[in-house]
Structure 1
Amino acid sequence: MINQLRTMYSSFLLYKNTNEPFPPDYKWFITENHEIIGIHEEELSSKEISLLETFLTPYQIQLPLMTNEERKWAALIHENEYKDEENKYAYRFVYFSIDRNQISPIQFKSAICELFGREVPILWENEFEGIIIEEKIIHEDITSYEQIIDVLMSDLYVKIKFLVGTFKNNWQDVHQYYNTLLYAAKNVFKYATKDVLTYINAIPYVFVHQTSQEQSRSISESILQNYIDDEETTKMIKAFVSCNLNVSETAKKLHMHRNSLQYRLERFYENTDLDIRQFHHAMTAYLALLISREHS
């Protein structure tokens, strides 16, 4: 569709989150893939605008003006403009996604800066998702994004998800870091139920997403076998993995006797040849569950 529009309209623009402002006198739309596109008003009749609005969402520009710091980060990420001496602090990228029509980007940025107690660079992908750039300043506590969610939910009634990247100490491969986190974030929340994930915890979901539906179903059935639709067993596996394969902790979580859990683990092993008391078997079973949940 984008290629067709580019052919039809000479002024067609696919907006990238760079340090350039939105060009004036353009009509802006969001595609189903959350890409922001624009066409100059002179090229559009009222009938064409109405037609475009049937399969594209009109976009009203509400993003905050970029600060000098945000412009530097945008140039660094998208144009690879970095200098070694500028790297004063470790930093990490934190993806966020806000439910639509809950809070404006300007209000959201103001709330985030207030929670951090300082100006925090934010690069917006569109009006409901973007990347927070968190610098690890000496003598500052590491930010808890669970607490940020609690505050935003209680004070502003905003539902939000975070994917927290790892800290880096240099600018090299920053473009790849940025794009990798975005790719992961746009896919992992299709599977994950938590509102805050670290990039490390998100990796299994990325692998699941990259597996075709046909392969996924085949893998899931071959591993879980007759247990694929057994809610009690899948609940047991999830709890066992979340408790780091600790039988006693899992039994407490499931409100059952330790011996009863041991018996069920043994029965599962006998019927599937999968002993989830061993790490690699547990990880295999857990990935099979993620796959079956997505493609059921």
Structure 2
Amino acid sequence: MLDKLHSYYKNSLLLSEKPNSSFYSNHHWFKDENSSRWLGIPLESIHNQELALLKTLFHYEFNTKSTNTLEKKWHDFLFSNGMIPEADQESYYRFIQFHLYGSEWEQHDIEEAMYGFFQDNSIVLWKDQASGVIIERNPDQSINVELLRSLSQTLESDFFLKAFFYCGKVQALSIKSPILFTEEQHFFEEAIQLMPSDRVYTFEKCFPYLLSAQLPKHMQEWMSSQLLQIMADEPELLTAVKRFLENNSNATLTAKQLYVHRNTLQYRLDKFMQKTGINLKDFNSSITVYLACLLHNQ
């Protein structure tokens, strides 16, 4: 099939071994799993729909097109078992992973928008066409969630795409950093599936959802029969309780978000406690109920 594609795409290249990215940075590369041959198609010669189709048929090798030596070292370190970037061993870092969903965009336009929100010493790396990581050097421990939300809104309004971010932990650079990066990547992927309405994730935000999704089946069945079925005819009670717990039991804020009077909210909370016998002021009870609410939404 590579021969036919080679004939179809003008100026494409067909090589018998893996190409050197230094010489072929302006090509998309596809490998036939049944041979050692590689097909290179110029970036300007293929449309996004064609690219998406070919990526499902062949192993796809994405080229970062980076000419920056430090960026290349970071890319090799995180994605290709490369050495630790020597110039950066004394610093602390945070990896902010991102994933974009949309039709068409230019990566340099996305990078320009991202760099406008971060310090000059930050680095944007691409893992593939739609995902990558922003590397923050010596960031504050506190996470600026609002900044990432603003960036997500900017990308969505300017480029008509959905932008998701996972803000990792601040860490010292070590040989274990790529492993931690991969673990955070897995959390990120699961979070998008479990919490698609959100745009910015942290481990603390994801953990309850991940935990509820991985509860043993018998525990899920018990929660369903003992808690969720009781509320089956009044789902608004679960909605009120979930939002109330997420807002740290702030009734005023919860009522405002649900567009109901505070007395209406209190009525729903009281009715929930009356029907279930669960006291929402009890810490352990609140955790149990919250996990049940998450399980209900999955």
SS at match of 2:193: coil
Name the amino acid aligned to 2:101.
Answer: D
Matched residues in 2 for 1:171 and 1:62: separation? Answer: 25
Matched residues in 2 for 1:188 and 1:275: separation? Answer: 29
CA shift for structure 1 position 60: 8.3
Matched residues in 2 for 1:167 and 1:275: separation? Answer: 37
Length, aligned pairs only:
262
Name the amino acid aligned to 2:184.
Answer: L
Pair 1:90 & 2:92 matched: yes
CA, structure 1 residues 230+116, in 2 after alignment: closer, same or farther (shift >3 Å)?
same
Structure 1: gaps spanning 5 or more residues = 1-10, 14-19, 30-35, 43-52
Matched residues in 2 for 1:165 and 1:82: separation? Answer: 19
- The within-5 A match list for 1:132-143 is 132-136=134-138
SS at match of 1:28: strand
CA shift for structure 1 position 244: 0.7
CA shift for structure 1 position 54: 8.7
Pair 1:177 & 2:180 matched: yes
Name the amino acid aligned to 1:40.
Answer: R
Name the amino acid aligned to 2:97.
Answer: Y
Contact 1:90 1:170 in 2 (8 A): yes
Contact 1:224 1:272 in 2 (8 A): no
Matched residues in 1 for 2:233 and 2:93: separation? Answer: 43
CA, structure 1 residues 277+66, in 2 after alignment: closer, same or farther (shift >3 Å)?
farther
CA, structure 1 residues 128+235, in 2 after alignment: closer, same or farther (shift >3 Å)?
same
Pair 1:189 & 2:186 matched: no
Once the two structures are superposed, what CA deviation does each residue of 1:251-293 show, in whole Å capped at 9, x if it has no partner? Answer: 3443445444334323322322322233332222222222222
Matched residues in 1 for 2:30 and 2:215: separation? Answer: 34
Residue of 25, 36, 40 corresponding to 2:37: 40
Matched residues in 2 for 1:283 and 1:87: separation? Answer: 40
Name the amino acid aligned to 1:98.
Answer: L
Residue of 101, 109, 116 corresponding to 1:107: 109
CA, structure 1 residues 54+102, in 2 after alignment: closer, same or farther (shift >3 Å)?
closer
Name the amino acid aligned to 2:69.
Answer: N
Number of the residue aligned with 2:281: 277
Q: CA RMSD in A?
A: 4.0
CA shift for structure 1 position 187: 0.6
Q: Which stretch of the first structure deviates more once superposed, 81-90 or 170-179? A: 81-90
Structure 2: gaps spanning 5 or more residues = 1-15, 40-52
SS at match of 2:105: coil
Pair 1:249 & 2:253 matched: yes
Matched residues in 1 for 2:274 and 2:117: separation? Answer: 52
- The within-5 A match list for 1:139-158 is 144-158=147-161
Matched residues in 2 for 1:70 and 1:179: separation? Answer: 18
* Percent identity between the two aligned chains: 22
Number of the residue aligned with 2:226: 222
SS at match of 2:185: helix
CA, structure 1 residues 62+70, in 2 after alignment: closer, same or farther (shift >3 Å)?
closer
Contact 2:76 2:82 in 1 (8 A): yes
Matched residues in 2 for 1:109 and 1:60: separation? Answer: 20
Contact 2:163 2:199 in 1 (8 A): yes
